[in-house]
Amino acid sequence: MVRPTGPEGAISREEPMELETILKTALEMDCSDIHLIAGHTPMVRQHTVMTPLDYPVITAEGALRMLKQMAGEEQMKVFEKIKDADFSYELPGLGRFRVNAHLQRSMVGIALRAIKTDIPPLKDLTLPEVISRLTYLPRGLVLVTGDTGSGKSTTLAAMIDAMNKRYHKHIITLEDPVEYSLVSDKCVIEQRELGADTPSFASGLRHVLRQDPDIILVGEMRDLETTAAAITAAETGHLVFSTLHTVNASQTIERIIDMYPADQQNQIRSMLANTLQAVISQTLFKRIDKKGMVPGVEIMLCTPAVRNLIRENRAFEIPNVIETNRALGMNSLDNSIAELFFNGMISREDAIAQAAYPEKLERALVA
């Protein structure tokens, strides 16, 4: 029997170390990530904090055995060829995980992200109400951005689920790997996983327009070909959702423009100005009022003023537009963080550490 000890973390071991036991304990502790690295004890990330489990050091043989237990034949071939492999793993009766296997110091390291099986309703995610309004858009591009582990996938899954319960439409997702399992309700939903169902985001997007979709979710706009295809899909009247690893709206726009060669950047500014509907940028905070996490959210809506700034290569002015249009539902990250602090949800230290302008926010938190 494995049981947690202490408020945050370490566990006691009373049986042999097995993959299933470790994963079950991590889920019981509500951990987001599990790290199984040869030469280290098992580690978990519990509410952003890396916490050791009271297990022996994982041997090189033990790490390889766990990898072979999770990976299929094709994934092992990929791992042996390029020393990295991404895939999903399901433990029946327990849950699903997004897995990255890699080598470090010539030994196996495995990082698992726990995928929650139940999609939370948008109203339960402590997100601004304007995000719910974005699920009523008929067309265009909506981007959810943030660092790894900032809750982008959960926000997108909740938005797709809201539309699934409302519309009679066709939704196609392209994911790496499939995280939340979406069950068709009023909508018909198809989920395509990279590797198993399509070789790449770009390839999936090249063919998706022939599959009669109304709504398309692209797991990540990670290269020029994928980005161009996603914007084209939005231009042709589809509602497209995707993610980028950027921290705010202005950086998101600049990142997209910078993917293109210099002689194409004016054209893509015009296309982006016409298709982009909103950028949602998230940062997760550990709650101090109760267990769990809460997002700080910057929201940029594409008003005529924002579209003009994109066309005219003045994305650096977008923060000012966000500040002056809060009545429309826009909000800066620092305003969102301040609201979380004053509502007693997050600590002052975390608020200042994650702020876009720490000194300015520190003064505001005193007021």
Domain shared by 259 and 186, yes or no:
yes
Average pLDDT over residues 215-220: 96
Nearest to 336 by CA among 303, 307, 366, 295: 295
Q: What is the pLDDT of residue 10?
A: 44
175 in the same domain as 98: no
pLDDT > 50? residue 262: yes
Query: Which residues lie across from 114 on neighbouring strands?
Result: 97
Assigned domain for 245 exists: yes
Domain count, the chain: 2
Model confidence at 92, pLDDT cuts 50, 70, 90, reads confident
What local confidence, expressed as pLDDT, does residue 156 receive?
97
Looking at the structure, do residues 211 and 308 belong to the same domain, yes or no? yes
Residue in the block written with tokens 């066709």: 170
Give mean pLDDT, residues 167-192.
94
Separation of alpha carbons 96 and 90, rounded Å: 4
With CA atoms as reference, report the closest residue to 89 among 104, 100, 102. Answer: 100
Question: Mean per-residue pLDDT for 202-206?
Answer: 93
Is the model's pLDDT at 88 over the cut of 90? no
Looking at the chain, the whole-number percentage of residues with pLDDT higher than 90 is: 83
For residues 45 and 55, is the Cβ–Cβ distance under 8 A? no
Q: What is the mean pLDDT of residues 65-79?
A: 93
Same domain, 76 and 55: yes
pLDDT of residue 366: 83
Q: Do 311 and 236 share a structural domain? A: yes
Cα 81 to Cα 27, 84, 271: the distances in Å are 32, 8, 39
170 and 311 inside one domain? yes
pLDDT at res. 141 = 98
Which of 70, 92, 115 is a domain's end point?
A: 115
Share of the chain above pLDDT 70, in %: 95
Tell me which residue range forms the domain holding 96: 3-115
In a domain, 208, yes or no: yes
pLDDT at 324: 96
In tens, the pLDDT along 94-113 reads 888 989 999 999 999 999 99
Contact 346, 286 (CB under 8 A): yes
191 shares a domain with 45? no
Tell me, yes or no, whether 340 lies in a domain.
no
The arithmetic mean of pLDDT across residues 354-361, rounded, is 94
- The pLDDT value recorded for residue 248 is 96
Structural domain contains residue 92: yes
Residue 98, CA atoms < 13 Å, CB-side half-sphere? 18
Q: Which comes out higher in pLDDT, residue 51 or 8?
A: 51
Token digits of residue 275: 């298709």
Q: Are 272 and 256 in contact (CB under 8 A)?
A: yes
Position 148 confidence tier, pLDDT thresholds 50, 70, 90: confident
Which pLDDT band, with edges at 50, 70 and 90, does 132 fall under? very high
Residue 355 placed within a domain: no
Check whether 13 has a pLDDT greater than 50: no
CA distance linking residue 151 with residue 134, whole number of Å: 17
pLDDT band at residue 11 under the 50/70/90 scheme: very low
CATH for 179: 3.40.50.300
On the question of a cis peptide bond just before residue 177, with omega within 30 degrees of 0, the verdict is yes
Indicate the pLDDT class of residue 17, thresholds 50, 70 and 90: low
Question: Tell me, what CATH number does 59's domain have?
Answer: 3.30.450.90
Of 115, 146, 181, the residue at which a domain comes to its end is 115
Do 136 and 213 fall within a single domain?
Answer: yes
Regarding whether 167 and 296 lie in a shared domain, the answer is yes
Q: Are residues 100 and 191 in the same domain?
A: no
Say whether pTM exceeds 0.95.
no
Residue 2 pLDDT exceeds 70: no
Q: Based on the domain organization, do 15 and 60 belong to the same domain?
A: yes
Q: Which of 115, 148, 175 is the C-terminal boundary of a domain?
A: 115
- The mean pLDDT value of the chain amounts to 92
**Is 247:215 a contact under the CB 8 Å cutoff?**
no
Assigned domain for 343 exists: no
Examine residue 345 and state whether it is found in any structural domain, yes or no: no
Q: Please answer whether residues 146 and 152 qualify as being in contact, where contact means their C-beta atoms are separated by less than 8 angstroms.
A: yes
Are both 57 and 128 inside the same structural domain?
Answer: no
Cross-strand pairs, 280: 144, 299
pLDDT per residue as tens digits for the range 276-329: 999 999 999 999 999 889 999 999 999 999 999 999 999 999 999 999 999 999
* CA dist., res. 335 & res. 364, Å (int): 9
pLDDT value at 196 more than 90: no
- Decide if 126 is inside a domain: yes
